[in-house]
């Protein structure tokens, strides 16, 4: 049943983990080294996962399983069956950014394994909200303007009921996680630095996961057309690869006065988040 018994087993098969001849697979049901990229939506989670997958000791699910939010009723055996097979010492990973804002997710993940390592990519909540809105617009072109949705009656107080605003209240969401996990189980990655210095952020992530620093600046180049760091050699093709069009979308223009109001709104929440994490992300 979901919520008990750990994640062990699904990756422990008798063949086909890609470890080459003579590689020993973990015994079935041996506890997995499990790490989850739990958020935040539009923080840069796909970039981080794709970069981490270059590491030979990381085996990550490509798609978002949404087990701890939408699919929990399917049970742990289902979740386990989705996971890639791993060798002893390899880390199994998945990313589902909505976990960070799902009330039940921390309790459920803790129920599966309190040893889970949790990674959160955070980004300036104002830019994150605009990025979220850009994604909504790409799916629903006739959507009301950003200002209409972000402010009640278009002019009034900030509307915290709108998901694009609410997700950025990082301190509030983290409070819920800290009821189940100590801070030492978390790594907070700066979404801004993931763009300006991907190798530096990947260094912290590999340290946190107890991995050798294999992914380094040798793996990245800055693609001026895309405006983002890209991989020199993608897994499989060995060719240069940037993330797809939905990553690094142009943002709709939002009036500066609205941006300033949102910045002021988030400031106390950001400060609280800096205090809680002991890290200043420099968004003020
Ligand atoms: N290297 C690289 N290439 C492309 N994009 C990058 C990269 N690093 C970080 N980012 C930023 O990632 C943002 C999308 O975040 P997520 O992958 O977390 O989005 S999602 O929640 O999974 O939809 C995406 O947001 P937008 O720029 O608003 O599209 C990017 O700013």
CATH number at residue 162: 3.40.50.300
**Is 267 marked as a binding-site residue?**
no
Q: Of 19-23, 94-98, 180-184, which gets the smallest average pLDDT?
A: 19-23
Q: How confident is the model at residue 32 (pLDDT cuts 50, 70, 90)?
A: low
Phi, psi of 116 (to 5 degrees): -55, 135
Q: Are 276 and 171 in contact (CB under 8 A)?
A: yes
Selection from 85, 111, 96, 110 nearest residue 30 by Cα: 85
Query: Distance between alpha carbon 202 and the CA centroid of its chain, in Å?
Result: 13
Ligand 1 mean position, distance from CA 248 (Å):
6
44, 205, 254: residue to mutate for ligand 1 pocket, most atoms within 8 A of CB:
44
| Chain segment 188-220, per-residue pLDDT in tens | 999 999 999 999 999 999 999 999 999 999 999
Q: What is the pTM of this model?
A: 0.91
Question: 243 in ligand 1 pocket by Cβ < 6 Å?
Answer: yes
Across the range 234-255, mean pLDDT stands at: 94
| Domain presence at residue 42 | yes
| Domain presence at residue 1 | no
| Domain presence at residue 6 | no
Catalytic residue among 42, 95, 226, 245: 42
Question: 8 in ligand 1 pocket by Cβ < 6 Å?
Answer: no
Work out which ligand 1 atom sits closest to the CA atom of 246: 29
| Domain presence at residue 8 | no
| Domain presence at residue 83 | yes
Q: How confident is the model at residue 20 (pLDDT cuts 50, 70, 90)?
A: very low
| Domain presence at residue 26 | no
Burial 195-210 (b: 16+ CB within 10 A, else e): beebeebbebbbebbe
Token duo for residue 85: 């097979």
Number of domains observed in the structure of the chain? 1
| Domain presence at residue 25 | no
Q: What is the ipTM of this complex?
A: 0.99
The confidence score (pLDDT) of residue 7 equals 62
**Is 44 marked as a binding-site residue?**
yes
**Is 131 marked as a binding-site residue?**
yes
Token duo for residue 96: 């589902």
Is 41 one of the annotated active-site residues of the chain?
Answer: no
| Domain presence at residue 10 | no
**What residues make up the domain containing 198?**
35-277
Across the range 143-150, mean pLDDT stands at: 96
Q: Does the pLDDT value for residue 5 go beyond 90? A: no
């Amino acid at each position: 049943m979901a919520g008990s018994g750990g994640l062990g087993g699904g990756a422990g098969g008798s063949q086909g983990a890609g470890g080459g001849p003579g590689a020993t697979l973990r015994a079935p049901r041996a506890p997995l080294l499990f790490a989850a990229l739990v958020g935040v939506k539009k923080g840069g989670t796909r970039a981080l996962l794709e970069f981490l997958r270059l590491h030979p000791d990381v085996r990550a699910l490509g798609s978002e399983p949404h087990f701890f939010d939408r699919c929990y009723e399917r049970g742990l055996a289902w979740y386990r069956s989705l996971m890639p097979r791993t060798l002893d010492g390899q880390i199994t990973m998945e990313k589902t950014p909505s976990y960070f804002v799902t009330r039940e997710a921390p309790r459920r993940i803790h129920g599966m394994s309190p040893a889970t390592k949790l990674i959160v990519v955070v980004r300036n909540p104002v830019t994150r909200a605009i990025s979220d809105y850009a994604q909504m617009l790409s799916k629903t072109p006739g959507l009301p303007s950003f200002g209409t949705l972000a402010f009640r009656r278009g002019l009034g107080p900030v509307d915290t009921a709108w998901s694009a605003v609410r997700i950025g209240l990082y301190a509030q969401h983290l409070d819920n996680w800290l009821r189940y996990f100590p801070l030492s189980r978390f790594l907070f990655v700066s979404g801004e630095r993931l763009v300006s210095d991907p190798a530096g952020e990947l260094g912290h992530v590999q340290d946190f996961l107890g991995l050798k620093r294999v992914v380094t600046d040798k793996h990245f180049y800055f693609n001026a057309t895309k405006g983002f760091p890209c991989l020199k050699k993608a897994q499989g093709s060995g060719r240069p690869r940037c993330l797809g069009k939905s990553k690094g979308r142009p943002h709709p223009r939002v009036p500066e006065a609205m941006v300033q109001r949102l910045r002021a709104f988030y400031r106390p929440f950001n400060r609280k988040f800096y205090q809680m994490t002991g890290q200043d992300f420099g968004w003020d």
